[in-house]
Amino acid sequence: MGYGLGVDLGTTFTAAAVSGDSGTRVVPLGPDVVVPSVVFATAGGGLLTGSGAAALAPTDPLRVSRGHKRRLGDPTPVVVGGAAYSPEALLAAQLRDVVADVTSLEGAPPDAVVLTCPAIWGPYRREHFDEVPRLAGLDNVHIITEPEAAATHYSTERRLGNGELVAVYDLGGGTFDTTILRAHHNGTEILGTPEGIERMGGIDFDEALLTHLDTRLDGALTTLDPTDPTTTTTLTTTRTACIKAKEDLSLEPDVTIHIPLPHTTHHITITRTEFNDMIRPSLVQTIEALHRTLASAGVAPQSLAGVLLAGGSSRIPLVSQMVSDTFGKPVRVSLHPKFTVALGAATTARSASVPPARRVRSGPVTAAPAAGGRPAARKSRWLVLLAAVAVAAVGTTAALAFTGAPPEEVRATGAVPGAAPDTSASAARTTGDAAVAGGGSTPDLDVHPSDDAGAYRGMLGSAEDGWAGTVIGDDGRAAYGAISAAPEGATGVRVTWTGTSNAQVYFQHGNGGSDVTAHAGPGSALVIDLVVHQRPTAPTVFAVHCVYPCAAELDVTSVLRGLPVGAPRTVKIPIKCFTDVGLDPRQVNTPFLVGTAGRFDATFGHVRWAAAAAGDPDATGCGALG
């Protein structure tokens, strides 16, 4: 007989369950039933996932990817083993292996598959999550939110009285979700608006532990040389120890973590009380989110029959204690919080109430062009973060950095404050008088500062904080994981990369892509006035995005390393260099992006697309770019 398959592709762990005539049950995917959401790129170009990938991770940390679920919407690919993959492709590899394992165990493929996603995800993230089953080659796939799945399973475990109200508190490895449901004789009804907090879960608690250890070691971890291969191994080993310590502290009053620094191994003991103090502020935020969910549903806390805990991180004792103390209601835990979502998804997959899933075209799980590489005939498979979504995440009232009208002399020359005058042919033009190849004239496309204050927003993104993006404020300042920005002069923005992880600064259109073909003639160039304060210590790219999956990037490491430190310079890169590697100027939404995983410090002044600048003697030829 047929069966339905539910899969919870979690940020840190993946679980699967099946539902058929014999009931609903968890399918063991490995020795621990759930498997790590880890991908390992083999030397032969294959992708190994789950327990096998986790076992090989210590042998070559550069071939490992963890937490890529958080990077849906990331405009930069995930580089694993020297190849670049979209987050969807890595998730698809895990899903493909899960379905294959379950099919082998059950003796036949599932009739339907239900995947789950965080309730906080909006249409943009959902759209890209839709790509996962397609890349995995699956048909008949339906997607529901994680709280819906948890509630579905809970209603089968414990019969709820008609009209009874239950809150779902789902704290997983990477996200937090909460929702309110009302029971009926024939099912459950979701009330109000589900709430969620991105970048809130076990990964963040691991990082809190890591930061605490670094503090205890007087910053010994953050001062490790990022160019030294042993640094990656040390940090990977320490993070793994933090994960285990977090789990052990749910059962033990204290644990000892061993940290293998280059010259000695340190042994640091962490108590449960210390750990609770580290994560308590985050848990307070989850409690506040649950209060907002109750308010949106018009439900008073005293009306709840109980609070259902789901997600692996909800096993932390402090979670149930704080929820119980705050709401004064029974806290209910399923058989195992890690399985709750997968079991609910399987029940939904089996249920006749599931609407017919759209047919999904099958397709391979493929790598995107490697970062800094030059694809030939196809476009990059990496994602573009739409500004409208990113702005919504940080507040729709945020303004473009440096929106105040700059002095006319700065506008006319486009120079970084303090820069020597640019006497090249392109600099002699004023906006609106540039000759375009083929005749006629068109103004330069000003990216920063922008003639239209609403056109392009300065933003920062960092792998440390999940790539959601944050707007550079109207005071010219922002900080986001491994990158920060500060005002410099009248219109300049000084951007500093710490080198602790991949990060980027970019200028993005608030209304999606626009046709900039008029600015992309054969003689046009991307022109950047800048001052390098510290040369990049790792490969660095300039990129242009033209709405997913269209994008182009160029390795400019050698160009930037060749500039004098502290001296104003103008870099000119022909737009043709970008169109040659996949740029479509008809739908550009990010006309300028700088990204690197190393240390880098530079001030960016006037950034524009200038007509005829590609012919200037100091323009960089495409052959000099990676």
H or E element, residue 292: helix 272-297
Six token digits for residue 341:
């979502």
To 10 degrees, the CA torsion angle through 526, 530, 533, 534? Answer: 10
Q: What is the pLDDT of residue 372?
A: 32
Q: Which residue is listed with tokens 């700059």?
A: 406
* Closest alpha carbon to 8 in 40, 34, 30, 31: 34
Q: What is the pLDDT of residue 568?
A: 92
Q: What is the pLDDT of residue 143?
A: 92
Locate all alpha helices (DSSP H) within 196-271, ordered by sequence. Answer: 202-216, 229-248
Tell how strand 540-545 and strand 47-49 pair up: unpaired
Q: Quick count: other Cβ atoms within 10 Å of Cβ 411?
A: 17
CA-to-CA dists, residue 66 to 53, 94, 109, 450, 464, angstroms: 10, 12, 28, 38, 12
User: Per DSSP, what are the bridge partners of residue 554?
Assistant: 542
Q: What are the sequence ranges of the domains in the chain?
A: 4-200+279-350, 387-624
H or E element, residue 393: helix 387-394
Q: Residue ranges of the chain with pLDDT lower than 70? A: 1, 157-160, 186-188, 334-337, 352-442, 451-454, 464-469, 510-512, 548-549, 626
With H, G, I as helix, E, B as strand and everything else as coil, classify residue 98.
Answer: helix
Cis status, amide bond into 449, omega within 30 of 0:
yes
pLDDT in tens, 469-516: 678 877 788 887 789 999 988 788 999 999 888 889 998 875 567 889
Q: Which CATH class is domain 387-624?
A: mainly beta
Six token digits for residue 5:
């398959």
CA-to-CA dists, residue 52 to 11, 29, 59, angstroms: 17, 11, 12
pLDDT in tens, 379-394: 222 222 222 223 233 2
- Helices 202-216, 272-297: crossing angle, 10 deg rounding: 150
To 10 degrees, the CA torsion angle through 352, 353, 356, 361? Answer: -80
198-235: b (≥16 Cβ within 10 Å) or e: bbbbbbbbbbbbbebbbebbeebbbebebeeeeeebbb
User: How far is 13 from 310, CA to CA, in rounded Å?
Assistant: 13
Q: What is the pLDDT of residue 225?
A: 83
User: How far is 454 from 433, CA to CA, in rounded Å?
Assistant: 23
DSSP 518-542: GG--TT-EEEEEEEEEE--SS-EEE
CATH 3.40.1080.10 fits 4-200+279-350, yes or no: no
Q: Does the global pTM surpass 0.85?
A: no
How long is the chain? 626
With H, G, I as helix, E, B as strand and everything else as coil, classify residue 290.
Answer: helix
Q: What is the pLDDT of residue 187?
A: 64
